[in-house]
Copies of this chain bind each other. A is one copy, B any other.
Amino acid sequence: MLTTMTLPHLQARTLTDILAPVQTDLRAVEARMRAVTMEQHASLTYAMNHLLAAGGKRVRPAMTLLAARLFDAPRERSIALASAIEMLHTASLVHDDLVDGSLLRRGLPTLNAQWTPAATVLAGDFLFARAAELAAEAESVPVMKAFARTLMTIVNGELTQLFLGHGVASRENYFRRIYGKTASLFAVAAESPALLAEAEADYIAAMRRYGEEAGMAFQIVDDILDFTSDESHLGKPAGSDLRQGLITLPVLCYLDQNPEDPNLARLLDGRTGDATLVERVVQAVRTSGAIEAARDEARAFVCRAQAALSGVPDNAHRQALHDLVEIFVERDV
Contacts and interface: CB of A to CB of B under 8 A. Distances in A.
B152 A122 contact: no
A162 B129 contact: no
Contact of A119 (B38, B137, B159): B159
Which secondary structure characterizes the binding site on chain A? helix
B162 A122 contact: yes
A43 to B, nearest CB: 5
A5 interface: no
A139 interface: yes
B95 A125 contact: yes
Contacts of A137: 145
> For the complex formed by this chain, how many copies does it contain in all?
2
Interface residues of A, number: 45
A140 interface: yes
Given A139-B141, A152-B133, A98 B125 contact: no
Interface in A113-159: 116-119, 121-126, 128-130, 132-133, 135-137, 139-141, 144-145, 147-149, 151-153, 155-156, 158-159
A249 B144 CA distance: 39
A266 to B, nearest CB: 27
Contact of A129 (B126, B141, B152): B152
Interface in A31-88: 37-38, 40-41, 43-44
B141 A122 contact: no
B160 A41 contact: yes
A95 to B, nearest CB: 5
A133 to B, nearest CB: 4
B43 A123 contact: no
A153 to B, nearest CB: 7
B144 A136 contact: yes
A122 B99 contact: yes
Contacts of A44: 156, 159
Nearest to A91: B125
A126 B38 contact: no
Contacts of A43: 159, 163
Contacts of A41: 156, 159-160, 163
Contacts of A147: 132, 136
Contacts of A148: 129-130, 132-133, 135-136
Nearest to A116: B162
Interface of A: 37-38, 40-41, 43-44, 95, 98-99, 116-119, 121-126, 128-130, 132-133, 135-137, 139-141, 144-145, 147-149, 151-153, 155-156, 158-160, 162-163
Q: Which 8 pairs of residues, A with B, have the shortest CB-CB distance?
A: A133-B148, A129-B151, A132-B148, A136-B144, A99-B118, A129-B152, A136-B145, A41-B160
